[in-house]
Structure 1
Amino acid sequence: MQNKTAIIILAIALALVSIYQLSFTGATFKVRKEAKDYGKGDLVKQRKYLDSISSLPKEKWSYLGYTFKEVQKREMNLGLDLKGGMNVILEVSVEDVLKALSNYNPDKTFNDALARAREQYRNQAGSDYLQLFGRAFSEIDPNARLAAIFGTVEMRDRINFNSSNEEVLKVLDAEVESAISNAFEILRTRIDRFGVVQPNITQLSTRGRILIELPGQDDPQRVRELLQGTANLEFWETYENSEVIGYLVEANNLLREINAALKKDTVSVTSIPDAQKAASDTTKKDQSLEALIGQDTAKAAASTRAEFNLQNPLFGILNPRVNEQGQPLPSCMVGLAAGIDTAQVNKYLKMNQIKALFPRDLKFYWSQNPYKYDPTKSLYELHAIKITTRDGRAPLGGNVITGARPSSGVTGSEVKVDFTMNAEGAKTWARMTRENVDRCIALVLDGYVRSYPRVIGEITGGSTEVTGDFTLDEANDLANILKSGKMPAPAHIVSDTIVGPSLGKEAINNGLVSFIISFVIVLAYMIFYYSRSAGSIADIALVGNIFLLLGVLASLGAILTLPGIAGIVLTMAMSVDSNVLIYERIREEIRNGKGIKLAVSDGYKGAMSAILDSNITTLLTGVVLYIFGTGPIRGFATTLVIGIFTSLFCSIYITRLIYEGLLKRNSNLSFSIKITSNFLKNTHIDFIGKRKFFYGVSIAITVIGIASLFIRGLNPGIDFAGGRTYVVRFDQTVNTADVASSLTRTFGETPQVVTFGSDNQVRITTKFKINETGADDEAETALYEGLKGMIGGNLTKEEFLSKYRKSSETVGP
């Protein structure tokens, strides 16, 4: 065999890379096992243990120089069907983008074209809405000009009155693409802030569609609200830290009193007014922060962190921004808290007793990104926002932004963001900067502070720059965010799938069992049919194929799904098929009288064309499935394509290397046993002689199939027709007719109910309000109302969805 050395080096390199990549999965498995042992069945304890490990720097926990967070990103990713979680496909509304670009022009031809394009888009899967709109606009009024619709003030530099419809459509195409990209970046930021481990967000081949996978997420309503919310950019005036820290001290004291009262099962009704009276004195100039903190800490000395947290409920989780002398640091940032503690801080600050301590025009926002100087990247900033308008809204919104771009200072070392505003925004911006010299103005996106520059002087003209110790990537991101405020691009959920963690665990167990059984059967069959020597070599190639396949999947960051496991099983069959072709050709050469060395050489040569033909055709199918498929289909295609290459390498080259090594030592090789050596050797079936019979059978089956297609038709699933599917597990065996009858009352139609797996588990399919946007919560309520009587007990909706609903899937029409 030629290039033997190169093949050996490649095999060793692939094995080492696979071991290296799979070792990360082993490391995370070890930590999760430790968390399970620590929690002893308590999921909250397990999660806290993992969160604590994730926040540790490299000095305290590392594997091959990586933190636990970084190791998690490199481990073998499991799909939602194995891990549980939520899969969402969103579609950026191109129609809404066009409306915004036209400044919501009321022109009849324009709106009729939008309506016609919308109808055609629903009926033509995979079509481009913008092209449909351009065609519809020309059909409705051939003399109408798009320049008259889109020649707005914001777009006059690219569209003038003389621009042709084709030129305008090119500009619109670029604007739509920009809107989709901005929406994609905003969604990515929201997901990262959502705190999901190993999220996946991908732009699909269909324009404007975005696939989002959130492993382990069990709050679908919150996810829907997060993803479908329109990006909202706001400019807020702020409080200084020195103006707020006193209120935080009083809030900390009051929380201590409340906790102490709760422990005694009595609540002092006079403590709240007293605390409010004390709060009114905190702004006195003669009372310093150092004295306030002295009063706080003098009451109880904390010898341990636990005791300190007990005595300081708020400051135990929110670190105030003060120096060593207890003086507040200048900024609108008033504190830092770990990401896992932000919810508890919010809970404290929303208590009526605590809210009464603060000024009415004060509210708090968290930062979007972790604190820049925190090495663990687990602390988030809390900012004090000042409400200055009567309606409580921000004095300046992102709709005034007309352009934004990153730039650098004179020396090129300082990165900043330049942006421009329209006339109305420039006027408001000038007033805000004039009234807030030497104070911060917070840029808030979707309720999170993105930047809080300090104003040096009044800024007029609407052109300004924002500095904030940005990296170039951060400046690019902020520029994109600022531009996204200019042109709204709302995203709507067209499909979502929810898989509960218990169903995912069952899928893993069932998948592993099926894989192991098929793997053992194939190994045993090869040894039985082709003898221990040849069968064992084929088995070595098969084991190596699976090992390399998993290693490549891990190194590429591919996601292993349940269909992916099916792809691995199929890859096993294809790998064995290659060895079968080779072995049968070798046996044929041996029967023709050739020696074992020549038979092996000619057997590999003779089988090569058949092996390549079958694998190339399968490879083409896998590539097409990967390009056009989504979710489970892509997972199957990924393992199939990778498996084809690894199986070819192992079944052809690895086995050939082993045979050449054995033949050099003159080992005794055999490719069959007595029972199988002549199996099917003398079998003769006269297919030609019986061709009329087979013709008749083939024609009869074809006619029956075509007649059935026309008479009964196809029953498309929700993937094609749209609808909602729920998998519900009961505590006892249920009758599907009874389930359908109970749900007919709440759904207003009879759903399809079939047994799914065990007798106490059903799959429910319905089209309940599938054409209405935002009806998911209503559908879940109808499901709960219809089935709670069959479950029994005083069951809440939340308990039903978390315990009894194992999965759900929604696909738009």
Structure 2
Amino acid sequence: MIQLSRWKVYVVAAALLLSTLFAFPNLLTPAQREALPGFVPSGVLNLGLDLQGGSYLMLEVDVDEVRTARVNGLVEDMRVILNAQRIAFSNLERQDGGFLITVTDPARFDAALAALQDLARPTSTGVSDVTVSRQTNNRIRAAFTDQALSNMGSTAVDQSIEVVRRRIDSLGTREPSITRQGTDRIVVQAPGESDPEALERVIGQTAQLTFQMVDHDNSVEEAIAGRVPPDAVLMQDEFGTPLLIKRRILVSGENLTRASVGSDQSGRPAIDFRFDGQGARRFGEATSQNVGRRFAIILDGQVISAPNIISPITTGSGQITGQFTISEASELVNLLNGGALPAPLSVEERRTVTASLGADAVDAGMKATLVGFVLVVLFMIVAYGFVFGGISVIAMLINGMMIIAAMSLTGATLTLPGIAGLILTLAMAVDANVLIYERMREEARAGRSAIAAADAGFSRAMSTILDANITTLGAALIMFQFGAGPVRGFAWTLSIGVFTSVFTAVLVSQIGVALWLRATRAKKLPIA
């Protein structure tokens, strides 16, 4: 008798039960899925941008802006260090990713050089990002290394991808595709997002929040006349009044742990926020040292509020008030909770896929799948008869259900290339059956009994089936690793199909043939 272990029956039964359970929600409406008990799976197959419609954006990260900001931060650190040591300097000059300064008193030159060496301390990788070197004529140069400048761009793109992903998730868009393209570009595909302008507005706003002191020691009138102090910048508050703002950042949005929509004492929309431990400590120190003075809350270079410090704020929480509407406050909260972009983003390309185009693509894909399925069924019936051909068709149907269940379980997105991978998988599924059946024919023609021929067909074709599918799996993994967008969708569907095809072609078909032999006690195979 053909080898049919009990564990094989149990495995196939368990696989059928789980596949049905995870694939079934795809047949239900959203309302019906919501009504399912909590322990019942409700995940469904997500449709990609080319099937569901949505928005496509290609964004470019301004990595030069990142480098400029980091270099400007370096000179502010130099000022703080030298001012703390009471070392006078002049002739501040930007040069190749850094700055040159001249120490006014030659006798303090060595002290200045030693103090600035703190900027060149090694990072967590054991390598310093900054070099501090002695120059001629009492000058010191502090600059970022070439490797550090290069890493800034790569890191900015990676951080931008994560921030964009969090912002899109806050909109409720399911399964967005956010991929890196080239060195400084990001491609965003948001299926089901019908308002690309809203998507672009939420994605593109930098949302860099900083808390900086108002400069009370210098004249605003002189700054308006063009004499702006080097450690300050001239801005306007929310009412259009000119303000001198200290360049040094006390606390930034990176220290925010939570932001939410609240209301001020007059009932107008406001934004409640809370800092992490480091931010709370720094903010508490700054407000304790500047009671009676104003500080500015700046978002993307615009002062949105400049309140007076009435008393030290040491609780780590506060409120931003301003001329907000409810929608503006909610949008700003989403931006702050999603994190600030490390650099501005510019839209290089914008496309909208309409829902009607998506429906047409779905219809075309379904027709292609149906035609492919019918052709495969006809071929198997004609080539191997209703019994063995029918067994392979049943295995193929179970294979398709298992693929849908696996993609629903993992939250995968089905695209047009994914449908192509599904059609290819169906063809590959019966390819394994063809190998098994042809081996059975050879054994039957060699004079072996029906049971022996069937048993040899499954056991001796296994190595060929594994070789073919392992090769296909390797190619799919390479496409998934190095491809993007549609290529990865095709590779993912194909990878799942490799495992389900081998499972159904070998185990499901083997059980079907074994049950037929037991029921009919056939002395000869119908395909011989």
Structure 1 length-normalised TM? 0.45
- The offset of 1:658, in angstroms, is 2.0
Q: CA deviation at 1:455?
A: 8.0
**Which residue number in structure 2 is paired with residue 499 of structure 1?**
353
Which one has a larger percent strand, Structure 1 or Structure 2? Answer: 2
User: Does the aligned pair in 2 maintain the 1:578–1:651 contact within 8 Å?
Assistant: yes
Mark the CA change 1:456 to 1:109 in structure 2 (over 3 Å): closer, same or farther.
Answer: closer
The alpha carbon displacement at 1:215 in A equals 1.6
Q: Is the 8 A contact 1:97 1:176 kept in 2?
A: yes
Matches within 5 A, 1:338-377: none
Counterpart of 1:219?
195
1:198 corresponds to which letter in structure 2?
Answer: R
d(CA) in 2 for partners of 1:446, 1:7:
66
Distance in 2 separating the partners of 1:490 and 1:428:
29
Residues 706-741 of structure 1, C-alpha deviation per residue, up to 9 Å, x if partnerless?
A: xxxxxxxxxxxxxxxxxxxxxxxxxxxxxxxxxxxx
Cα-Cα RMSD = 4.8
| Aligned twin of 2:44 | 75
1:85 aligns with 2:54: yes
Instruction: Work out the CA distance in 2 between the residues paired with 1:22 and 1:468.
Output: 48
| Worse-matched range after superposition: 214-223 or 575-584 | 214-223
Q: Tell me if 1:63 matches 2:36.
A: yes
Cα distance, 1:606 vs structure 2: 2.4
> Percent of aligned positions with the same letter in both sequences?
30
Q: 1:166 to 1:397 in 2, by over 3 A?
A: closer
1:619 is displaced (CA, Å) by: 1.1
* Cα deviation, residue 661, structure 1: 2.8
* Number of positions where the alignment pairs a residue of Structure 1 with one of Structure 2: 426
CA distance in 1, matches of 2:438, 2:190: 48
Q: What residue in structure 1 maps to residue 329 of structure 2? A: none
SS of 1:82 mapped into structure 2: helix
2:322 aligns to what? Answer: none
For residues 21 and 30 of structure 2, the distance between their equivalents in structure 1, rounded to whole angstroms, comes to 15
8 Å contact 2:361–2:416 — kept in the other structure? Answer: yes
CA distance 1:178–1:645, shift in 2 (3 Å): same
Superposition pairs of residues 106-125 of structure 1, within 5 angstroms: none
Query: Measured at CA, do residues 388 and 579 of structure 1 come closer, stay the same or move farther in structure 2, by a change above 3 Å?
Result: same
The higher relative CO (CA closer than 8 Å, separation ≥ 6) is in 2
Please report how far the alpha carbon of residue 664 of structure 1 lies from its aligned counterpart in structure 2 after TM superposition: 3.2
CA distance in 2 between partners of 1:672 and 1:468 (Å): 81
Measure how far apart 1:22 and its partner are: 2.6
Partner residue in 2 for 1:119:
none
CA distance, structure 1, for counterparts of residue 371 and residue 493 of structure 2: 19
Say yes or no: does 1:566 pair with 2:416: no
Give the unaligned 5+ runs of structure 2. 76-92, 99-112, 123-127, 135-140, 214-236, 258-273, 320-334
| Displacement after TM superposition at 1:647 (Å) | 0.5
Q: Which residue type is aligned with residue 537 of structure 1?
A: I
Q: Of 516, 523, 528, which residue of structure 2 is paired with 1:662?
A: 516
Secondary structure of residue in 2 paired with 1:457:
coil
* Distance in 2 (alpha carbons) for counterparts of 1:18 and 1:397: 60
**CA–CA distance in structure 2, aligned partners of residues 663 and 446 of structure 1:** 79
CA distance in 1, matches of 2:509, 2:450: 15
With normalisation by structure 2, the TM-score equals 0.66
Give 2:208's match in structure 1, choosing from 222, 232, 236: 232
CA distance in 2 between counterparts of 1:64 and 1:468 reads: 41
**Equivalents in 1 of 2:500, 2:399: separation in Å?**
6
Q: Contact 2:402 / 2:500 at 8 angstroms: preserved in 1?
A: yes
Q: Structure 1 residue 15: deviation in Å?
A: 2.7
Q: Which residue does 2:241 correspond to in 1?
A: 390
Question: Any stretches of 5+ residues in structure 1 without a counterpart?
Answer: 33-60, 112-147, 238-385, 408-414, 470-476, 678-813
**Aligned-pair distance for 1:161?**
1.1
Match of 2:8 in 1: 7
Answer whether contact 1:626 1:634 (CA < 8 A) is retained: yes
**Following TM superposition, by how much is the alpha carbon of 1:492 offset from its aligned partner in structure 2, in angstroms?**
3.8
The answer to whether the 8 Å contact 1:586/1:600 transfers is: yes
Structure 2 residue 373 is the aligned partner of structure 1 residue 522: no
CA distance, structure 2, for counterparts of residue 166 and residue 618 of structure 1: 51
1:753-800, CA deviations, whole angstroms, 9 ceiling, x for partnerless residues?
A: xxxxxxxxxxxxxxxxxxxxxxxxxxxxxxxxxxxxxxxxxxxxxxxx
User: Retained in 1: the 8 A contact 2:418–2:492?
Assistant: yes
Deviation at 1:521, TM superposition (A): 1.9
Task: Render the CA deviation track for 1:89-134: whole Å, top value 9, x for unaligned.
Answer: 43434333223222299756559xxxxxxxxxxxxxxxxxxxxxxx
Is residue 645 from structure 1 mapped to residue 499 from structure 2 by the alignment? Answer: yes
Aligned-partner Cα distance in 1 for 2:499–2:298: 51
Q: Which residue of 2 aligns with 1:347?
A: none
Kindly indicate whether the alpha-carbon contact (under 8 Å) linking 2:395 and 2:508 is maintained by their aligned counterparts in 1: yes
Q: Check the 8 A contact 1:203/1:210 in 2, yes or no.
A: yes
1:161 has 2:154 as partner:
no
CA distance in 2, matches of 1:654, 1:397: 71
Question: 1:22 matched to which residue of 2?
Answer: 23
Letter paired with 2:380 = M
Amino acid at match of 1:387: E
Residues 450, 522 of structure 2: 8 Å contact kept: no
Q: What residue number does 1:466 align with?
A: 316
C-alpha deviation, 1:537, in angstroms:
0.6
- Whether contact under 8 Å (1:537, 1:658) holds in the other structure is yes
5 Å-filtered alignment, 1:151-550, equals 159-161=130-132, 168=145, 171-172=148-149, 176=153, 179-193=156-170, 195-204=171-180, 209-233=185-209, 387=238, 390=241, 401=251, 416-419=275-278, 434=292, 457-458=311-312, 466-467=316-317, 481=339, 484=340, 488-493=342-347, 496-550=350-404
Specify the alignment match of 1:702 in structure 2.
none
Say if 2:284 and 2:312, in contact at 8 Å, map to a contact too: no
Q: CA deviation at 1:401?
A: 3.8
Going from structure 1 to structure 2, the CA distance change for 1:574 and 1:479 (only over 3 Å counts) comes to closer
Indicate the larger mover: 228-237 or 7-16: 228-237
Is the contact made by 1:533 and 1:670 (CA closer than 8 Å) also made in structure 2?
Answer: no
Tell me the SS of whatever aligns to 1:161: strand
Match in the other structure for 1:98 = 67
SS of the residue aligned with 1:661? Answer: helix
What is the match of residue 556 of structure 1? 410
Deviation at 1:184, TM superposition (A): 3.1
C-alpha deviation, 1:153, in angstroms: 9.4
Give the whole-Å Cα distance in 1 for the aligned partners of 2:417 and 2:361: 11
2:462 is the alignment partner of 1:603: no
